[in-house]
A and B are shown apart, each in its own frame.
Chain A
């Protein structure tokens, strides 16, 4: 995750570079370091550096890293000829290189030649069976081919080996959600919460999944996780606020026939949903006053 200082630094550099000031190289280095996806800007500024022979020679050995970065950005923006040129330059300089081999296979993928790309990746994997990036590209190919079950299989095998890779867990959770396999998705989100318990997104997603699975216990847990999200975001997350209200009404419905004990358990924070409703109305008043009526009536219909 990117820290606040890095984010401000990035925005500053972006503004500076976009408005014609210098600093393109620092911007590209920062993007590379933080591993964020700014393909259009990288493509524009990277190509301008590469096409200018003076600036290019000023880079020295970093020129090749820039080539790699621009190639990937070009593929992301579907400028395949730019990518091809960069990769050709790299091939000339570093023949027989695994890193360049990866780029070539990526280019095949970008062109849509899935079979050849899959072959290329398999051969790369033979040489280096523990390369995480190649495994993930194969999963990406299966996703692009629209075979989510195969993607799940590959990703599960990958995770058996590299079980601390939280990006992979996140991807797996999303695939499960797309296939409506909610219990498995809940498991993945639990892994994510374990590895990064202070990220509110995971709590929110987990709460959503729990609420979707349904059942009194799950909805009670969902409410707790929505509350955690609210706490972690300082009450700014509208989705969590709405989630609390929905949970409250669902709990009320589900526990209609239950006995007193369960009722008490659910009333752990009785004012929570009324406070959440008030917070939602306040936010709508600030940001979308036209829709305030809508949301007020919706909340009122949810009220117990």
Chain B
């Protein structure tokens, strides 16, 4: 059926706007709570050193052509030689699953749990609230047409199969807000803190600093690097600069 349903403006006043406001407020609240609960991470000396090694190896890669070939080669050897090169990760260490490491370390496990909880609980509560109060009616109309497949996703409380799929329930408005409020949070909370739920979910999946992989990546990068000393070219350039200056 392609008729246009006329939706009561009361729906807009009492459903859409309050829902958005509530979600924004919950996001702000969560930000402050996470700030309070954040325990300052005590950096491990090993991790700091590895981080710095990676930076130095990257500098070496970037500026390799500015130093004489001998120096470059001796530095590369220092980093990637087989016995005690800094970037060389022995096979057994590399195989050790960083995830297992993370779980065995109680501090990190606690931090992760806190982060997960602070995300899951508000989401669950809000979702339940939306379902309880705002189900069973059409909340909004999506401006573009959709296929029938979306019906189960977007029209959850509405049990009429003849209603056009563009008319969605408030649950879908909830999801829209969930994914879309990141821009608003970055305005309110300052750019760095605008992590909304989608990013947090992504962070949950991928773990933090995986030392051994980045080290071996840097090592590979260094190994394949061909050193080409650019300094001789500078003499010609200096000549032309001086020529222009002296003219």
| Chain A bound to chain B | yes
Closest A residue to B60 by beta carbon equals A194
Given contacts A130-B43, A163-B52, A235-B242, contact A194 B64 (CB under 8 A): yes
* Contact among B52, B64, B68, B234 for A231, CB-based, below 8 A: B234
Given contacts A130-B45, A278-B246, contact A224 B239 (CB under 8 A): no
B206 close to chain A: CB less than 8 A: no
| A279-B60 Cα distance, complex, nearest whole Å | 34
**Chain A residues in 8 Å Cβ range of B246:** 275, 278-279, 282
* Cβ–Cβ contact B242 & A276, under 8 A: yes
Given contacts A161-B45, A194-B59, contact A275 B53 (CB under 8 A): no
* Contact among B63, B231, B237 for A195, CB-based, below 8 A: B63
Residues A217-266 near B (CB distance < 8 A): 221, 223-228, 230-231, 234-235, 241, 244
A272 close to chain B: CB less than 8 A: yes
Given contacts A130-B45, A164-B56, A194-B60, contact A275 B243 (CB under 8 A): yes
| A182-B244 Cα distance, complex, nearest whole Å | 35
Main secondary structure of the interface of B (DSSP, over half): helix
Q: What distance in Å separates the Cβ of A201 from its nearest Cβ neighbour in chain B?
A: 14
* Cβ–Cβ contact B242 & A197, under 8 A: no
B71 close to chain A: CB less than 8 A: yes
**Chain B residues in 8 Å Cβ range of A187:** 71
Number of interface residues of B (CB under 8 A): 31
* Cβ–Cβ contact A197 & B63, under 8 A: yes
**Chain B residues in 8 Å Cβ range of A195:** 56, 59, 63
| A129-B49 Cα distance, complex, nearest whole Å | 13
* Cβ–Cβ contact B45 & A190, under 8 A: no
* Cβ–Cβ contact A269 & B63, under 8 A: no
**A interface, size bucket:** 35 or more
Main secondary structure of the interface of A (DSSP, over half): helix
* Cβ–Cβ contact B43 & A231, under 8 A: no
**Chain A residues in 8 Å Cβ range of B68:** 190, 221
Given contacts A130-B43, A275-B242, contact A228 B231 (CB under 8 A): yes
**Chain A residues in 8 Å Cβ range of B52:** 161-165
Given contacts A195-B63, A234-B241, contact A268 B235 (CB under 8 A): yes
A193 close to chain B: CB less than 8 A: yes
**Chain A residues in 8 Å Cβ range of B237:** 227, 231
**Further pairs besides A235-B241, A279-B246: 14, Cβ < 8 Å:** A161-B45, A162-B49, A193-B63, A221-B68, A227-B234, A228-B234, A228-B238, A235-B244, A244-B238, A268-B232, A268-B236, A272-B238, A275-B242, A279-B242
Query: 11 A-B pairs, CB-CB below 8 angstroms?
Result: A160-B49, A164-B52, A190-B67, A194-B64, A195-B63, A224-B234, A228-B238, A234-B245, A241-B242, A269-B235, A275-B239
